[in-house]
């Protein structure tokens, strides 16, 4: 076939997901889209999008994409970069003055932190590449993270981006900007920068400049009532290897527009919408004759931005991120980037860029093979199963030219 | 010397010494050599060490930044020392030129040493000149000696034979291409050649020792205009 993908081998994806994950009750459902050279070669809906209501997965099911929001936010900010609004090495405080003197944590628990001054101010590149010193509040591993769990996440659901920024800038950084990599609320701050630089609300900017012109009609911060029937349920794993309801679509917070427009995790989307977005990136920034980014900016975004060619695992401050999953994988501006498939121990190509969401959704773009994959499911957290790696092996195995 | 040769990088009068080497090796005065071997064949008719009276109407004023963010006159074209041919023919800093002239020079380099049928350099020499010559593949920032005139912030750029050379866009934090070579002038002028994208940029202004981010901004804007 014109895509150079074996349809027989692509069918293995369905068999694999069905027998390994769906028949065993580990996942409610899954939706996989594989495209090559601009053509969809495999688009397959398996299982249920809502177990409780017995609703089968549809090709237009709406999913919580969590951190797969980050690439859209990063693209939004880089559209403003292309207008000359900022440089990557500009200090963040040039635009958000509250970040000028943010201190670095040394010891102690909130509110009795001992801190030291930062070695240099946080830059916009630090935010886009998770080298800012910020953290997320997922783990108990350090005092800053524990404070985030208690306080920042509160602010991040009830406050505006401006309030969130003020609050976070008053908390200590986990490390001096640029000295390490840590997954963090950095991308939320990128969303706030989009607001400040463009003078538009972040959701309006995304809609006007990205989702509406691209035709990503189901991508937004909330699910309107008339789309509720397509909104998936979200699940968590149980101790016995099954799943339990984590967020019921009918009663979900996603039914109302959030106050905190989280550029790090706020969006819902569909496989088709996200594919349109990735296709634009693979096409060098163009979709249907409309230019979103220059090819050069996409090259810059999908280049490793960690110092001395380091991988995420080399540069990560947190144990959870320094494990082997991120060997041979660097980080660009909003995406992880494969530096070396052998070190990464992953069938892949140098320059392949990717990310995923907390509910086990995943995507990658392989510019060398012209492959795009979007995988949708809803199981929190994404570390439950290694589906992303398994899919990479299966999809790469289907390449037959 | 400030340091043992080849143990560091420091922006210097090294290129003035190169100009003297041209004289010694060619047996010609440096300005004559440039005229005969570069400016005439390349058609760089407004490039020289001085501005003759019949071109004074086209000679820009030069400015210095003021503390309040504006600028003040630094060199009036009418009274400028550039109206006289200098005794010291500075190969590091002596020329005046125009955007069109400098574009022709840049285009010659992009064409691997030739323009309008005149070969100035071989492709191999241009390749050699635009390769990084700093020891161990180091960047300018890694090689710059303590207290260097410039370069301590030039991460991701190496230095060839006369040009800064972009090594890695991630480290340099800017849109561009590996192998892109460039330099600028003390009055904030800039040129670069991007062999990957086949682009030449020449930017002219006259702000002496101004610390403008304009070079970065231009590079972003030009790269953002690439539409294929």
* Residues of chain B found within 8 Å of residue A297, distances taken between Cβ atoms: 175, 223-224
| Residue A320 predicted with pLDDT over 70 | no
Query: How large is the average pLDDT for residues A209-236?
Result: 98
| Residue A322 predicted with pLDDT over 70 | no
| Residue B208 predicted with pLDDT over 60 | yes
**Residue B120 CB coordination number (10 Å):** 17
Instruction: Retrieve residue A86's tokens.
Output: 């900022």
Determine the Cα angle at A200 with ends A196 and A202, to 5°: 80
Measure Cα distances from A370 to A38, A373, B227 in Å.
8, 10, 19
Instruction: Retrieve residue B49's tokens.
Output: 């060490």
Q: ipTM value of the model?
A: 0.86
Q: Which of A14-18, A151-155, B106-110, B117-121 shows the lowest mean pLDDT across its residues? A: A151-155
| Residue A246 predicted with pLDDT over 90 | yes
| pLDDT at A1 (0 to 100) | 57
Nearest to A400 by CA among A2, A1, A12, A4: A4
Q: Are strands A336-338 and A353-356 parallel, antiparallel or unpaired?
A: antiparallel
CB B159 within 8 A of CB B22: no
Mean per-residue pLDDT of chain A: 95
Whether the upstream peptide bond of residue A111 has omega within 30° of 0, thus cis, is yes
- Answer yes or no: do A291 and B213 touch at CB < 8 A: no
- Answer yes or no: do B173 and A304 touch at CB < 8 A: no
Query: How large is the average pLDDT for residues A64-80?
Result: 98
Nearest to A42 by CA among A233, A275, A216, A217: A275
- Answer yes or no: do B223 and A296 touch at CB < 8 A: yes
| pLDDT at B169 (0 to 100) | 96
B174 touches chain A (CB under 8 A): yes
- Answer yes or no: do B176 and A82 touch at CB < 8 A: no
- Answer yes or no: do B220 and A332 touch at CB < 8 A: no
CA A42 – CA B145 distance, rounded (Å): 57
A95 touches chain B (CB under 8 A): no
* Residues of chain B found within 8 Å of residue A125, distances taken between Cβ atoms: 173
Mind listing the pLDDT tens digit for each residue in A138-149? 777 788 888 888
CB B186 within 8 A of CB B93: yes
Q: Are strands A55-56 and A39-50 parallel, antiparallel or unpaired?
A: antiparallel
| Residue A225 predicted with pLDDT over 90 | yes
Calculate what percentage of chain B has a pLDDT beyond 70: 100
Calculate what percentage of chain A has a pLDDT beyond 70: 98
Nearest to A181 by CA among A353, A361, A305, A358: A305
- Residues in contact with B69: Cβ distance below 8 Å, sequence separation at least 6, in sequence order: none
B171 touches chain A (CB under 8 A): yes
Instruction: Retrieve residue A161's tokens.
Output: 């981006």
With a CB-CB cutoff of 8 Å, which residues 186-205 of chain B face chain A? 197
| Residue A51 predicted with pLDDT over 90 | yes
CA A217 – CA B18 distance, rounded (Å): 62
Tokens 């400016």, residue located: B39
| pLDDT at B190 (0 to 100) | 96
Out of B224, B227, B228, the one facing A297 most closely (by C-beta) is: B224
pTM: 0.93
B172 CA: distance to closest CA in chain A (Å):
9
| Residue A136 predicted with pLDDT over 90 | no
Query: How large is the average pLDDT for residues A156-185?
Result: 91
B38 touches chain A (CB under 8 A): no
């Amino acid at each position: 076939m014109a895509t150079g993908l074996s349809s027989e081998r692509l069918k293995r994806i369905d068999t694999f997901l069905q027998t390994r994950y769906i028949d065993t009750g580990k996942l409610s459902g899954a939706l996989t889209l594989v495209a090559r050279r601009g053509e969809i070669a495999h688009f397959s809906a398996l299982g249920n999008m809502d177990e409780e209501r017995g609703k089968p997965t549809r090709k237009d099911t709406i999913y919580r994409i969590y951190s797969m929001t980050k690439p859209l936010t990063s693209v939004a900010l880089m559209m403003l970069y292309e207008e000359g609004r900022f440089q990557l090495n500009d200090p963040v405080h040039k635009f958000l003055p509250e970040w000028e003197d943010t201190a670095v944590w040394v010891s102690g628990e909130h509110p009795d932190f001992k801190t030291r001054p930062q070695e240099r101010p946080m830059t916009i590149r630090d935010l886009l590449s998770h080298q800012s010193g910020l953290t997320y509040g997922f783990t108990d591993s350090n005092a800053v993270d524990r404070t985030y769990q208690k306080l920042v996440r509160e602010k991040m659901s009830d406050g505006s981006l401006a309030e969130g920024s003020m609050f976070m800038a008053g908390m200590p950084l986990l490390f001096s900007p640029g000295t390490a990599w840590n997954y963090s609320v950095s991308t939320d701050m990128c969303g706030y920068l989009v607001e400040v630089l463009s003078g538009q609300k972040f959701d309006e900017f995304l809609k006007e400049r990205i989702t509406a012109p691209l035709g990503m009609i189901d991508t937004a911060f909330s699910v309107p009532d008339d789309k509720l029937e397509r909104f998936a349920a979200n699940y968590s794993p149980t101790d016995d290897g099954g799943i339990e309801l984590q967020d019921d679509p009918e009663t979900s917070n996603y039914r109302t527009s959030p106050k905190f427009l989280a550029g790090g995790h706020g969006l819902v989307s569909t496989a088709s919408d996200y594919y349109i977005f990735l296709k634009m990136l693979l096409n060098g920034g163009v979709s249907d004759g409309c230019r979103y980014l220059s090819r050069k900016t996409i090259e810059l975004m999908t280049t490793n931005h960690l110092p001395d060619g380091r991988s995420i695992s080399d540069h990560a401050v947190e144990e959870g991120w320094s494990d082997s999953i991120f060997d041979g994988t660097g980080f660009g501006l909003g995406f992880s980037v494969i530096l070396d498939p052998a070190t990464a121990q992953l069938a892949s190509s140098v320059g392949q860029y990717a990310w995923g969401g907390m509910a086990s959704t995943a995507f990658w773009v392989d510019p060398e093979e012209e492959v795009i994959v979007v995988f949708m499911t809803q199981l929190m957290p994404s570390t439950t199963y290694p589906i992303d790696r398994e899919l990479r092996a299966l999809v790469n195995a289907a390449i037959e030219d | 010397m400030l340091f043992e040769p080849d143990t560091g990088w420091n922006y210097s009068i090294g290129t003035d010494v190169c100009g003297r080497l041209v004289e010694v090796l060619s047996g010609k005065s440096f300005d004559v050599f440039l005229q005969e071997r570069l400016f005439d064949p390349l058609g760089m008719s407004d490039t020289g060490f001085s501005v003759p009276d019949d071109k004074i109407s086209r000679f820009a004023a030069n400015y210095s930044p003021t503390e309040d963010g504006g600028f003040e006159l630094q060199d009036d074209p009418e009274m400028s020392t550039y109206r006289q041919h200098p005794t010291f023919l500075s190969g590091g800093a002596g020329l005046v030129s125009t955007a069109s002239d400098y574009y022709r020079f840049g285009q010659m380099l992009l064409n691997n040493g030739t323009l309008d049928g005149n070969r100035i350099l071989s492709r191999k020499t241009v390749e050699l000149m635009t390769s990084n010559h700093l020891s161990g593949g180091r960047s300018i920032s890694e090689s710059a000696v303590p207290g260097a005139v410039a370069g301590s912030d030039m991460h991701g750029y190496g230095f060839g034979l006369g040009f800064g050379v972009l090594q890695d866009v991630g480290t340099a934090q800017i849109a561009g291409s590996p192998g892109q070579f460039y330099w600028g002038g003390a009055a904030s002028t800039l040129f670069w050649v991007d062999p990957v994208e086949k682009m030449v940029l020449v930017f002219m202004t006259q702000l002496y020792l101004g610390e403008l981010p304009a070079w970065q901004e231009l590079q972003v804007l030009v790269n953002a205009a690439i539409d294929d």
